[in-house]
Amino acid sequence: MTIGEVSKEFFVSARMIRYYEKIGLIESSRRKEYAYRIYDETAVKRLKQIIILRKLRISLKQIAVILNDKEQFQALEVLRENMETLDEEINALSTIRAIIDTFIHRLDVGIRGKICVDILEDNELIAIAHALISPKYHLKEDCSVEELNQASERMEQKMDIRFVYLPPATVATSQYVGENPEEVSGDQLQALIKEVDLPLKKPDFRVYGFNNPSPKEGEEFYGYEFWVTIPDDLEVKEPISKKQFAGGIYAAHCIKMGDFHEWGVFFKQMQDHNEYEIEWREPFGMGGSLEEHLNAFSYYTGKESDFKQLDLLIPVKKKTDDASE
């Protein structure tokens, strides 16, 4: 299968597949008579495994351990650690749920008896604490893929969203369309940063990126464009170009590198937001949306070997009173 076929078959972006390959989770190959990289049966099977494990909230680093552990001792330990973390979350949520359920019951009884109950009064809280019973949960032995998808989507909906102002800036841009566009455009940008010693000239530089053009149905390749903020008077040479970034208000959500699937949930939440609405603007590769690489200074000065976190950024504006109504 080609990367386009794999992407369509498993509803995973081509960029995500390339990232899995970059960090060594899957491998592709080439045939002399074929222009594109292809994924054999082993790679496709491994991709299925990765998708399932990601939906179980297992990190990419842990997935690498599980897939490469032939004796499975480390895999067992990883899963046990994840189970302990989930148990802690379940216990905490169970306690909160039990308290809220007790609040509901006591208020309901009070309203029916026309009695005002102060559920936040000390004695009342003590009575609630004594009334709590830890519920027991039993997971069904059989769990369908559809149920797993629904559970995964529900967990992803618990998304932290901030609203930030990005100031106007002069940026140097690097763009490439073809195979591995993030790597090629990133290498071009890195060469510029090293050549002009940007960490010394502008230690507060910021790095943004976005699809340009975005992937399209039936097309094997797409493009990616990197920006780095630079001093206004800095001169650049091809293939780098220079432009002005207008800045503005953005909704922001932080992800670990590789969790690009969270873009979809992020967009959905902003489409349904009560206070802000999406404001499509330049650059139009992703409708004005950007990815900010948060550890750029450490990466470009050699203190870290890879980008660790990204801020997903969607351009927004405040809803007017008419729109809110």
**DSSP-derived secondary structure for 79-145:** HHHHHHHHHHHHHHHHHHHHHHHHHHHHHHHHHHTT----TTSHHHHHHHHHH---------S---H
Question: d(Cα 54, Cα 19) in Å, to the nearest integer?
Answer: 14
pLDDT of 106: 77
Q: Cβ-count burial of 3 within 10 angstroms (0-12 exposed, 13-18 middle, 19+ buried)?
A: buried
Give pLDDT, residue 141: 47
256 beta partners:
309
212 close to 175: Cβ distance less than 8 angstroms: yes
User: Bridge partners of 166?
Assistant: 248
Q: CA 252: distance to chain centroid?
A: 11
pLDDT for the residue 156: 63
Distance CA 313, CA 311 (A): 6
Tell me what pLDDT residue 315 has: 97
At 60, list the tokens: 């990419």
Residue 220 is predicted with a pLDDT of 74
Strands annotated E in 13-98: none
Q: What is the pLDDT, as a whole number, of residue 195?
A: 95
Rounded to 5 degrees, what are φ and ψ at 216? -125, 150
Other Cβ atoms closer than 10 A to 117: 15
Task: Give the chain's radius of gyration (CA, Å).
Answer: 25
Q: pLDDT tens track of the chain, all 325 residues?
A: 888 888 888 878 888 888 999 899 999 887 766 667 789 999 999 998 998 898 888 999 999 999 999 899 999 999 999 999 888 888 878 877 877 887 788 788 888 888 776 766 656 666 665 655 444 444 444 556 676 666 666 666 667 899 999 999 999 999 999 888 999 999 999 999 999 999 999 999 999 999 999 888 777 788 999 999 999 999 999 999 999 999 999 999 999 998 888 898 899 999 999 999 999 988 888 999 999 999 999 999 999 988 889 999 999 999 986 544 4
Amino acid at 214: S
Token code pair at residue 145: 């893929």
Return the closest-CA partner of residue 176 out of 206, 207, 210. Answer: 210
What is the pLDDT at residue 179?
82
Helix (H, G, I), strand (E, B) or coil at 189: helix
Closest CA to 149 of 262, 52, 60: 52
